[in-house]
């Protein structure tokens, strides 16, 4: 089965990110395909490389980056939601006059069209968070 996954909540404020991560790991282990992971609303906060949790806590952003690299996942961050929350890749930082980017490895910024396309290409869209 082909899945698209949408994550709407931040990494440490709601269980949605952890649940989505565990769902994707289980789906991949069972041989399913993940078409795209789309981070929307506060979910874009999963993509900042400046997240530094305490050493005894899980690093959710690093887990996402490692999972993307291991399975060649397409992890898309909504551009409008990212701009509102201060998440920028190199291109967005330059366009908006920022002195640095802060997107974590494995993530890319794009528009809602990527979510629509993923929904068309998938058998199911699974949404985590409000």
Is 78 a known active-site residue? yes
Alpha carbons 30 and 21: distance in angstroms, whole number: 14
Residue 40 region, left (φ>0) first, then alpha (ψ -120 to 50), else beta? beta
What is the C-alpha to C-alpha distance for residues 57 and 78, in angstroms, rounded to an integer?
A: 27
Active-site entry in 78, 81, 103, 115: 78
Q: What is the rounded distance in angstroms from the CA atom of residue 87 to the CA atom of residue 1?
A: 32
**Dist. CA 64–CA 77, nearest whole Å:** 12
Cα–Cα dist 24/10, whole Å: 17
Using an 8 Å Cβ cutoff, are 2 and 35 in contact?
A: yes
Catalytic residue positions, numbered? 78
């Amino acid at each position: 089965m082909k899945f698209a996954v949408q994550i709407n909540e931040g990494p440490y404020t709601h269980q949605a990110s952890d649940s989505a991560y565990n769902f994707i790991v289980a789906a991949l282990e069972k041989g399913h395909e993940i078409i795209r992971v789309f981070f929307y609303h506060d979910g874009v906060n999963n993509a900042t490389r400046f997240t530094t949790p305490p050493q005894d806590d899980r690093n959710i952003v690093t887990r996402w980056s490692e999972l993307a690299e291991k399975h060649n996942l397409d992890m898309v961050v909504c551009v409008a939601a990212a701009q509102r929350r201060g998440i920028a890749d190199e291109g967005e930082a330059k366009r908006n006059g920022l002195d640095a980017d802060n997107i974590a490895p494995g993530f890319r910024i794009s528009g809602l069209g990527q979510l629509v396309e993923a929904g068309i290409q998938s058998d199911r869209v699974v949404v985590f968070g409000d």
